[in-house]
Amino acid sequence: MNGLLTRLSDRLSRRRRLTDTLLAALVPVAVSSLALAGLTTWVGTGNAGSPPRMSVTEGRVYLPAAGSDETAAFFRITNEGGSADRLVGITSPDAPGGVVLARHHMRGGATAYRAPIESIEIRAGESIAMSPYGVDLTVVVPVGELRAGDLVSFTLTFSRSGRVKLPAVVVRPGTVVF
């Protein structure tokens, strides 16, 4: 009887080791299969590794206040691609004083200030609408050169997508809703 119990105990011990070994192997296989299914779905949707596709629209330049050589410009930038991109530069032949990417910050009370920023990221599938309350372009133009309805040429440079050239129309402040 003692020998029978020993054999049964050995069989159970071997079965337990076999079960533990199979479970130890099954967990990484299940996790790998789940990861592969997720990657397959991502590739199937067409977003895996697709480059950014930048669309820049709704270009507006505020008519400068009388006697001022500084104004602001705004665009809507949409990334229709599958990876992020970054706006890294802006130029305009119509703004000999230069163009600076800036972000508005509120101080206590009703005052605000503009701080230059180096760049802005536009994630895949997202849009950035520049406005007087967030990110915009500070544009320096000769006093009295711009009139409502004029077109100002801009070149926006993205780190991955390259350059996008487009005009922005000069509008009176308060005539555009952001």
Q: Return the bridge partners of 71, or none.
A: 139
**What type of residue sits at position 7?**
R
pLDDT digits (tens, 9 = 90+) for 156-175: 999 999 999 999 999 998 88
CA–CA separation, 27 and 56 (whole Å): 47
Q: What is the mean pLDDT of the chain?
A: 86
For residue 124, count CB atoms less than 10 angstroms from its CB and return exposed for 0-12, middle for 13-18, buried for 19 or more.
Answer: middle
Whether the predicted pLDDT of 144 surpasses 70: yes
Whether the predicted pLDDT of 125 surpasses 90: yes
Q: What is the pLDDT of residue 42?
A: 62
What secondary structure letter does DSSP report for 131?
-
Q: How many residues does the chain have?
A: 178
Higher pLDDT, 10 or 116: 116
What secondary structure letter does DSSP report for 139?
E
Whether the predicted pLDDT of 34 surpasses 90: no
Cβ-contact 53, 80 below 8 angstroms: yes
Q: What is the pLDDT of residue 178?
A: 63
CA–CA separation, 4 and 93 (whole Å): 96
> In degrees to the nearest 10, what's the CA dihedral of 16, 22, 25, 31?
-110
pLDDT digits (tens, 9 = 90+) for 40-97: 666 666 556 689 999 999 999 999 988 888 999 999 999 999 999 999 999 999 999 9
Q: What is the pLDDT of residue 44?
A: 60
The whole-number average pLDDT for the span 111-119 is 85
Q: What is the pLDDT of residue 73?
A: 96
Whether the predicted pLDDT of 26 surpasses 80: no
Q: What is the pLDDT of residue 7?
A: 72
The whole-number average pLDDT for the span 92-112 is 85
